[in-house]
Amino acid sequence: MDYQDIIKDWKQKKFKSLYWLEGDEDFFIDQVVNYAEHELLEEAEKGFNLTVLYGKDTDWSTVINACRRYPMFAERQVVVLKEAQAMRDLLKLEAYIDNPLSTTVFVVAHKQGKIDGRSKMAKVIKDKGVLLSTKKLYDNQLPAWTEGYVSSRGLAISQKAAILLVDHIGNDLSRIANEIDKLLVNLPEKKKIDESDIEKYVGISKEYNVFELQSALGQKNAAKVYKIIAYFAANPKAAPMQMMLPALYNYFSKMSLVFVVKGGEKEIASALGVHPFFVKDYIAAARLYGPEATDRAILLLHHYNLRSIGINDSGVEDGELMKELMYKIMA
């Protein structure tokens, strides 16, 4: 069961006594907790029937006593335990979980990891309640997730706009969702988000960004590469060198895999961990560079990364270092 299934059940008035939310992706956990806290009860019911506790500020007996209370003037009460991973004696909740009160909806948010799946506690949770185990999405899953999130909000987004947004923000679903929600406010009449909207409302240039630099570099389009580098030199906050170099290193490292992966575009996309939208570009760039030049580019990026932090460098400005690096990669 994923977080959307839990919320769907709640909307249909289907409740379990326990919802244990754990794992490394906070966004999915936060979505369930937010709904439990703000939507499960009517406003008039919350005063008596909503209890929110924090693991670092409470103990197991307080939590169990809250869960064992009966609702007042309502069919059920809701108890939310946030930051459960910070609570001492967390395993002592097992006694209640094994025999929960049917009129209590107990929601536990256990972030930054999971309890031991071999433990008795884990077995009781699976037997008596709903377990949501979350994990970070792979980078190649982010554009599709972004498109799905936009769709769930009643809009569409172009593939390139989704990739541009993800490439700028990285693997942070909460930030991606927040930027999309801001776009919805600014685009009430529009049905599809495009790159111009991302540029205008998120503040990402559709022409001058690391994604476009990678693309130009992959094509050995020197004019475009130097144009982007000149823009970055004039606007250092737009893409600091220390942000660009890891992205380019990742790009050429993935390109190097094209030479060793057996199979077609589907297999290459899987091995590289990239969206299928990009695969043809990686293949074309690999053919243009060849394995030796690709390996040399990786070594150059490592060398210039050291220079950018002052190792074996006499204080050359970042803009000049990047121009020099681009020239050597494309040579």
Q: 44 and 155, same structural domain?
A: no
Q: Give 86-102 pLDDT, tens digit per residue.
A: 998 999 999 999 999 99
Tell whether the model's pLDDT for residue 206 goes beyond 90: no
Final residue of a domain: which of 111, 134, 157? 134
The whole-number pLDDT of residue 276 equals: 80
pTM: 0.73
pLDDT (average), residues 82-89: 93
Final residue of a domain: which of 117, 134, 151? 134
Q: Give 21-80 pLDDT, tens digit per residue.
A: 999 999 999 999 999 999 999 999 999 999 999 999 999 999 999 999 999 999 999 999
Q: Give 101-113 pLDDT, tens digit per residue.
A: 999 999 999 998 8
| Sheet with 77-82, edge to edge strand ranges | 50-54, 77-82, 104-111, 18-23, 130-134
Q: 103 and 147, same structural domain?
A: no
Tell whether the model's pLDDT for residue 238 goes beyond 80: no
Indicate the length of the chain as a whole number.
331
Within 10 angstroms of residue 200's Cβ, the number of other Cβ atoms is: 13
Q: Over the range 140-169, which residues count as b (16 or more CB within 10 Å of their CB) and which as e?
A: bebbbbbbebbeeeebebbeebbbbbbbbb
The whole-number pLDDT of residue 150 equals: 94
Number of domains in the chain: 3
Q: 72 and 170, same structural domain?
A: no
pLDDT (average), residues 248-272: 91
Q: Are 155 and 186 in contact (CB under 8 A)?
A: no
Average pLDDT across the chain, whole number? 91
Tell whether the model's pLDDT for residue 305 goes beyond 80: yes
Tell whether the model's pLDDT for residue 275 goes beyond 80: no
Q: 275 and 196, same structural domain?
A: no
The whole-number pLDDT of residue 159 equals: 86
Q: What is the CATH number of the domain that holds 26?
A: 3.40.50.300
The whole-number pLDDT of residue 51 equals: 97
Q: 116 and 8, same structural domain?
A: yes
The whole-number pLDDT of residue 6 equals: 96
The span from the CA of 9 to the CA of 111, in Å, is 22
Using 50, 70 and 90 to split pLDDT, how confident is the model at 131? very high
Q: 99 and 21, same structural domain?
A: yes
Single-letter amino acid code for the residue at 301:
L
Q: 312 and 217, same structural domain?
A: yes
Domain span at residue 184 reads 139-202
Which residues lie below 8 Å from residue 11, measured CB to CB, with a gap of 6+? none
Q: Give 142-175 pLDDT, tens digit per residue.
A: 888 999 999 988 889 998 889 888 888 888 999 9
The whole-number pLDDT of residue 27 equals: 95
Using 50, 70 and 90 to split pLDDT, how confident is the model at 179? very high
Using 50, 70 and 90 to split pLDDT, how confident is the model at 16? very high
Query: What does the block give as tokens for 258?
Result: 């094209």
Q: What is the CATH number of the domain that holds 150?
A: 1.10.8.60
Q: Are 182 and 201 in contact (CB under 8 A)?
A: yes
- Partnered with residue 80 across adjacent β-strands are 52, 107
The whole-number pLDDT of residue 28 equals: 96
Q: What is the CATH number of the domain that holds 266?
A: 1.20.272.10
| Phi, psi at 50, each rounded to 5° | -120, 125
Q: 279 and 218, same structural domain?
A: yes
Alpha-helical segments (H) within the chain:
3-11, 26-38, 43-49, 60-67, 94-98, 120-128, 142-152, 159-169, 173-186, 195-197, 210-218, 222-234, 241-257, 265-272, 276-308, 318-330
Burial class (CB in 10 A: 0-12, 13-18, 19+), 230: middle
Q: 223 and 123, same structural domain?
A: no
Q: Are 248 and 287 in contact (CB under 8 A)?
A: no
Q: 190 and 216, same structural domain?
A: no
Final residue of a domain: which of 114, 134, 154? 134
Instruction: Name the one residue in this structure whose structure tokens are 């895999």.
Output: 257
The whole-number pLDDT of residue 328 equals: 96
Tell whether the model's pLDDT for residue 226 goes beyond 90: yes
The whole-number pLDDT of residue 140 equals: 79
pLDDT (average), residues 298-312: 89
The whole-number pLDDT of residue 106 equals: 98
Q: 234 and 127, same structural domain?
A: no
Query: What does the block give as tokens for 107?
Result: 């929601």
Q: 129 and 143, same structural domain?
A: no
